[in-house]
Amino acid sequence: MVQSSVLGFPRMGANRDLKKANEAYWADKLSRDELIKEAKRLRLAHWQIQKDAGVDVIPSNDFAFYDHLLDHIQLFNAIPERYSKNKLDPLDEYFAMGRGHQKDGVDVPALEMVKWFDSNYHYVKPTLQDNQTFTLSSDPKPIREFLEAKEAGIATRPVLVGPVSFLHLGKADRGQSVDPISLLNKLVPVYVELLKKLKEAGAETVQIDEPVLVQDLPQKVKDAFKPAYEALTASGLPKIVLATYFGDVVHNFDVFPSLQSVYGIHVDLVRNPEQLEAVAGKLGSSQILSAGVVDGRNIWKTNFKRAIEIVETAIQKLGKDRVIVATSSSLLHTPHSLEAEKKLDPEVADWFSFAVQKVSEVTVIAKAVTDGPAAVREALESNAKSMESRATSKRTNNKAVKDRQAAVKPQDHERQSPFPQRLAAQKTHLKLPIFPTTTIGSFPQTKEIRVQRNKFTKGEITAEEYERFIEKEIEEVVRIQEELDLDVLVHGEPERNDMVQYFGERLDGYTFTTNGWVQSYGSRCVRPPIVVGDISRPAAMTVKESKYAASISKKPMKGMLTGPITCLRWSFPRDDVHQSVQAQQLALAIRDEVVDLEAAGVFVIQIDEPALREGLPLRAGEEREKYLSWAVDAFKLSAAGIKDSTQIHSHFCYSEFQDFFHAIAALDADVLSIENSKSDAKLLKVFEDKEYPRHIGPGVYDIHSPRVPAEQEMKDRIGEMLQWLKPEQLWINPDCGLKTRQWKETKAALTNMVNAAKFFREQHA
């Protein structure tokens, strides 16, 4: 019999229940016990969904209040002393590490948060000390949740992040020099202790995720697998299924001899189906293969015919008793259920599969290869019709879009003049001071904004009433920025629901869900639009609001756009057309908007590309360079249709640019703002080393936390930046948009930021 397996299930619930509960707890509207009770309800509901679908191997410990890496930080007591010394309740200590804490005399920032491989999910980075120790928590979460499921009559396979990945994905704390992987011999015994306790609790098999095996690894990290897994597979411990995902493992086959003692290995056969034969050939004589054939990263229905062929190939090589049908990765990256989508066009809805549906897909494939196609004939026939419908639909093709793409010339990617000439024109036109201050775009989205948007969506107020409300909000945001004395203003984006969804709703080629929420970080959920066909811009998307904002202030107004790569990466893209084609279509649409903004009197335009690094292929080499080539071309195509005197900004998440700095430089943006507040300022050294000539705005404070940094803290941060950047290069800004923050903390933080900038302005007068 071929078993079915799910590597992980979304945490938020059918209606973003966990988000609502967490935020109520943070606002002191829900007690600790009530939050814990709601979390238990969600876990039980998610296990029951999988059990009812007939899944054989159901995960536990895939739930997290905030983040699964943060769970492991607390599980192994790898908690920096700045948090542990405050003796907070364990749950509050956990949230303090995730989002910061500024309450009752305790003031600590959050730990650094970065993207989980090439996804839009963010994890909290393990932050380690020179004298680091690890101990198992007194009430280990994996055991508690395994027993919780067991009590409900559901057998589960606990999920852990492996010790090599935990350390390799971590970093030395500021002021520390420890190499994380050198701590392996301290950490592995704690894993062994945990596995013993899981065995005692009744766990026969444990899933240990080592996703770093899809990356290029230093030899010392590769060498860590041997001692780690010799210890983790010792007699008396549960059997280990080692899981990899988001890429292939062939380049790390030299590690496989160190993994011969694990029970099985999971590989992603959606992302890299071609690795199957090589991986099967490297397995030990009794090792099982967990075949990830149901996509954990996208929303398209699984092509049953193709997936069954892959699994049958594995069976031919290994036998039915050594193959498990599985999701390619955790389903964390997919929405909860398609059942909630009542407004989707039936034709399009028939092409989709969300987490609940993917759980069933896994069981259908397993049954088909176990009992034969006749056992699931109805499901296979229905699936084949869905595949045919999508392949032949007229919705996917637009000749005018294809013709415009064919007419793009190399010169269409270039600005009129090189940066020095542009800078001179911009200085004359914009008249900005040294250390200019700005924000990244969005301002707090209040309850009133959400209520009015909801009323407009439901038809309870007219378009004219909604426009008047939005103009009032824009005027208020502009006046606040003028009072704060910011130098380059924004309109605040009160009309926007999401930085990608808003644009997708105004572009042909997209479709949208009502409840297709996916966790981005903590309680932050996004509802990615879905690219179903060729993309074009039928009308202006942002000009009206930006033009109005510019008309009511004498200060420069910055138009805010989302760049082509981010629009693509933060959508669910088509899987039938190469992403470079979709990116160029988006670039042409955004180019039209940039030209229209300039014509409307908006002479600073920000084209956000926070997802550029996220899209970077996980391994260096030809594939990465090809990606960077078409991604850079898409950005340049979107930005090149304007005069020298109009200033182009772009924003990037995270400051780890070393691997592809040449591409950052090639974008030719006049000003880069980067999310750098939680990173070591030394990372800015790359701009000095490469003699980067253009302007840079590293974030001076973290907007993911409600904490308000003191003015002196920001001065210190700016001072660190000036060790690596020239004064005339440096812009002063937060590290990201302010949409999720409250007005009180926003005004306080921006006041401190502006005062810090003025201090340095006086120093350099």
Q: Residue 72 catalytic?
A: no
Residue 653 has pLDDT above 80, yes or no: no
pLDDT, position 583:
98
59: how many CB neighbours lie within 10 A of its CB? 25
Determine which helix (DSSP H) or strand (DSSP E) holds 78, and give its type and residue range: none
According to DSSP, residue 382 is labeled H
CATH topology of domain 3-11+51-394: TIM Barrel (3.20.20)
pLDDT value of position 78: 98
How confident is residue 288, by pLDDT bands cut at 50, 70 and 90? very high
Indicate which residue of 168, 333, 704, 764 is catalytic.
704
Residue 656: predicted pLDDT: 65
Is it the case that residue 709 has pLDDT exceeding 60? Answer: yes
Question: For the whole model, what pTM was predicted?
Answer: 0.89
Taking CA atoms, 743 is separated from 610, 706, 708, 735, in Å, by: 24, 10, 12, 17
* Residue ranges of the binding site for L-methionine: 440-442, 493, 608
Mean pLDDT, residues 161-190 taken together: 97
Residue 725: its pLDDT value, please? Answer: 92
- Tell me the one-letter amino acid at 150: K
Strands 239-243 and 264-268: parallel
Provide the pLDDT confidence category of residue 355 given band limits of 50, 70 and 90.
Answer: very high
C-alpha 203/C-alpha 206 separation (Å) is: 7
- Kindly tell me if the per-residue pLDDT of 659 is higher than 90: no
Residues forming beta bridges with residue 445, ordered by sequence position: none
Mean pLDDT of 20-29: 98
CB burial readout 217-247, b (16+ within 10 A) else e: beeebbbbbeebbebbbeeebbbbbbbbbbb
User: pLDDT of 57-77, one tens digit each?
Assistant: 999 999 999 999 999 999 999
pLDDT at position 394 is 85
Digit-coded pLDDT (tens) for 75-130: 999 999 999 999 999 999 999 999 999 999 999 999 999 889 999 999 999 999 99
User: Does residue 678 carry a pLDDT above 70?
Assistant: no
Long-range contacts of 694-697 (CB under 8 A, 24+ apart): 694/419, 694/668, 694/669, 694/670, 694/729, 695/670, 695/671, 695/729, 695/730, 695/731, 696/671, 696/672, 696/725, 696/729, 696/730, 696/731, 697/438, 697/671, 697/672, 697/673, 697/730, 697/731, 697/732, 697/733
β-strand pairing of 489-490 with 508-511: unpaired
Q: Which residues are annotated as a binding site for L-homocysteine?
A: 440-442, 608
The pLDDT of residue 128 is: 98
| Average of per-residue pLDDT values in the chain | 95
Q: What is the pLDDT of residue 39?
A: 98
Q: For residue 655, what pLDDT band results from cuts at 50, 70 and 90?
A: low
Which top CATH class is 419-764? Answer: alpha beta
- What is the Cα–Cα distance from 536 to 589, expressed in whole angstroms? 6
Task: Please compute the mean of the pLDDT values over residues 461-483 and round it to a whole number.
Answer: 96
pLDDT at residue 146 in the model: 98
**What per-residue confidence (pLDDT) applies to 231?**
98
pLDDT average, residue stretch 452-466: 92
For 211-239, write each residue's pLDDT tens digit: 999 999 999 999 999 999 999 999 999 99
pLDDT band (50, 70, 90) for residue 676: confident
Per CATH, 3-11+51-394 and 419-764 having the same topology is answered yes
CA-CA distances (angstroms) from residue 111 to 98, 99, 133, 195, 677? 6, 8, 18, 27, 11
Sequence ranges of the domains in the chain: 3-11+51-394, 419-764
pLDDT band at 765 (very low <50, low <70, confident <90, very high): confident
Residues in binding site for 5-methyltetrahydropteroyltri-L-glutamate: 19, 120, 524-525, 570
Q: What is the mean pLDDT of residues 383-395?
A: 93
The radius of gyration of the chain's CA atoms, rounded to the nearest angstrom, is 26
pLDDT at residue 689, rounded to an integer: 78
Question: Which stretch of DSSP H or E encloses residue 638?
Answer: helix 622-639
Candidates 89, 85, 113; CA nearest to 99 is: 113
Kindly write down the DSSP assignment for every residue of 648-676, as one continuous string: EEEEES----GGGHHHHHHT--SEEEE--
The tokens describing 600, both together, are 């409307």
| pLDDT of the residue at 718 | 95
- The predicted-structure confidence for 314-343, as pLDDT tens digits, reads as follows 999 999 999 999 999 999 999 999 999 999
- The residues that bridge with 696 in the sheet, in sequence order, are 672, 730
Query: Which residues are annotated as part of the binding site?
Result: 19, 120, 440-442, 493, 524-525, 570, 608, 651, 653, 662, 675, 736
Rounded to an integer, the average pLDDT of 600-629 is: 93
Q: What whole-number percentage of the chain has pLDDT above 90? A: 90
